[in-house]
């Protein structure tokens, strides 16, 4: 991997050429961009970057100031080939900007849904990568999982029913152009209300101890890995219901049905990961992450080779040429067309740039002024 470079803190929007939107999230969008002075950094800075543009007003309204600060801090210290790289951050009075590595293969989720389910070999390949990332994060005391209910006694009554959504889910895994995973979205929690409407997000990955508000440390990550392995092999998660309440009940009941085609070793690992009793959950025992890596299902994986992307890849994202949806003649559009026609953006949908500007934040009341 090239050494990690950081762009100066005083960069501004004008230091970049801006291209198409790669995706949208709850607080803004991610756009492709090119740093105008990239030549100063040689090959250490990729030509194209993905810049996450987050609306300050929305972050403040949704009480996500701490979480975004957390995300930025974590992204800046991470240095693992399977996690997305961050090249710095900046802000204006409306937005926070996180400058990220552009991951060209699209969402892992799209790939999983397209395939329906994976064969054992692919499920092993992807889950070993997540296992390696968790090992790396935990060794630095970073928990990928959100800690949303930590407020404990300070929580107000109406917040009592708030639950986190696990952040390990196929949507937060991107594929790079080599077919390897890149984990994104660090430190971002979303509050989910304990009710049955669509606001509930994706509760299938929540661990029982989180539901019971009995803590949410490293073992929660191992639980989510168990859910992910099951989902990859079966095509849907182990605890499903149309109603989130039903999902929570099934998680707490802990009954897992394994179809006959489920690989024996994978089943053994999933059972050990989806263990409600924390003192028995693999990854949380004396041997820590190494116990998971040493499980016989991962026997064929050489983790050093995996991390250095030396293992053969079964599926490489299909990168095909794509054309612009807009013919407006202007400099920005020309740049966008150039960006759009690039083959490695073909895995992204087209998002129109019709977004209204969010309100500006008065510098005197801006919680991000020291960002």
Ligand X SMILES: Nc1ncnc2c1ncn2[C@@H]1O[C@H](COP(=O)(O)OP(=O)(O)OP(=O)(O)O)[C@@H](O)[C@H]1O
Interface residues toward ligand X, by CB under 6 A: 22-27, 30, 50, 52, 84, 100-103, 107, 171-172, 174, 184-185, 188
**Least distance to ligand X, CB of residue 13, Å:** 17
The closest of 81, 82, 85, 71 to 27, measured between CA atoms, is 71
The closest of 223, 217, 333 to 275, measured between CA atoms, is 223
**Least distance to ligand X, CB of residue 355, Å:** 13
Instruction: Report the residue number, 126 or 188, with the smaller CB distance to ligand X.
Output: 188
**Least distance to ligand X, CB of residue 95, Å:** 12
Catalytic residues: 167
**Least distance to ligand X, CB of residue 18, Å:** 14
Structure token pair of residue 26: 């709850």
**Least distance to ligand X, CB of residue 168, Å:** 12
**Least distance to ligand X, CB of residue 110, Å:** 9
Length of the chain: 371
Instruction: Report the residue number, 23 or 215, with the smaller CB distance to ligand X.
Output: 23
In the structure, how many helices (H) and strands (E) does the chain have?
11, 9
| Phi/psi-derived region of residue 28, left when phi > 0, alpha when psi is between -120 and 50, beta in every other case | left
Instruction: Report the residue number, 46 or 288, with the smaller CB distance to ligand X.
Output: 46
Maximum alpha-carbon separation in the chain:
63
**Least distance to ligand X, CB of residue 50, Å:** 4
Instruction: Report the residue number, 92 or 305, with the smaller CB distance to ligand X.
Output: 92
User: Is residue 35 within 8 Å of residue 6, measured between CB atoms?
Assistant: no
Cα-based distances in Å from 17 to 102, 301, 333, 349: 14, 41, 11, 20
| Edge-to-edge order in the sheet of strand 28-35 | 16-25, 28-35, 49-55, 95-101, 86-91
CA dist 189 and 64 (Å) reads: 8
In sequence order, the 6+-apart residues with CB closer than 8 A to the CB of 48 are 19, 32, 33, 34, 102, 339, 342
Instruction: Report the residue number, 129 or 284, with the smaller CB distance to ligand X.
Output: 129
In sequence order, the 6+-apart residues with CB closer than 8 A to the CB of 302 are 311
User: Is 52 known to sit in a ligand binding site?
Assistant: yes
CA dist 311 and 331 (Å) reads: 42
CA dist 30 and 21 (Å) reads: 6
* 293 class by beta-carbon count within 10 Å (0-12 exposed, 13-18 middle, 19+ buried): middle
* 31 class by beta-carbon count within 10 Å (0-12 exposed, 13-18 middle, 19+ buried): buried
CA dist 31 and 208 (Å) reads: 36
Show binding-site residues. 52
Show binding-site residues for ATP. 52
């Amino acid at each position: 991997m090239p050494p990690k470079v950081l762009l100066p803190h005083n960069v501004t929007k004008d230091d970049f050429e801006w291209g198409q939107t790669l995706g949208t999230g709850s607080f803004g969008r991610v756009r492709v961009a090119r740093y105008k002075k990239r030549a100063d950094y040689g090959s250490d800075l990729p030509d194209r970057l993905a810049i996450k543009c987050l609306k300050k007003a929305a972050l403040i309204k949704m009480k996500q100031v701490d979480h975004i600060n957390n995300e930025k801090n974590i992204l800046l210290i991470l240095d693992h080939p399977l996690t997305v790289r961050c090249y710095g951050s900046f802000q204006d009075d409306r937005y926070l900007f996180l400058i990220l590595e552009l991951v060209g293969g699209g969402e892992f989720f799209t790939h999983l849904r397209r395939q329906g389910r994976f064969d054992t070999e692919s499920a092993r390949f992807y889950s070993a990568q997540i296992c390696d990332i968790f090992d790396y994060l935990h060794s630095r005391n970073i928990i990928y999982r959100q800690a949303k209910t930590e407020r404990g006694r300070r929580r107000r009554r109406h917040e009592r029913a708030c639950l986190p959504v696990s952040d390990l889910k196929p949507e937060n895994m991107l594929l790079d152009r080599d077919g390897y995973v890149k984990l994104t979205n660090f430190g971002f929690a979303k509050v989910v209300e304990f009710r049955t409407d669509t606001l509930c997000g994706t509760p299938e990955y929540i661990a029982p101890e989180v539901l019971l508000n009995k803590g949410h440390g490293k073992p929660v990550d191992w639980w989510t890995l168990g859910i992910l392995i099951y989902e990859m092999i079966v095509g849907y998660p182990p605890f499903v219901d149309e109603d989130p309440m039903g999902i929570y009940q099934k998680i707490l009941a802990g009954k897992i049905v394994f179809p006959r085609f489920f690989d024996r070793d994978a089943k053994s690992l999933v059972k050990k990961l989806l263990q409600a009793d924390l003192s028995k959950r693999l990854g949380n025992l004396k041997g820590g992450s190494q116990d998971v890596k040493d499980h016989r299902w991962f026997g064929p994986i050489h983790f050093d080779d995996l991390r250095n992307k030396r293992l053969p890849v079964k599926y490489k994202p299909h990168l095909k040429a794509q054309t612009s949806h807009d013919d407006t003649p202007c400099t920005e559009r020309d740049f966008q067309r150039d960006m759009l026609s690039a083959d490695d953006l073909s895995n992204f949908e087209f998002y129109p740039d019709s977004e209204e500007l969010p309100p500006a934040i008065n510098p005197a009341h801006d919680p991000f002024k020291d960002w």
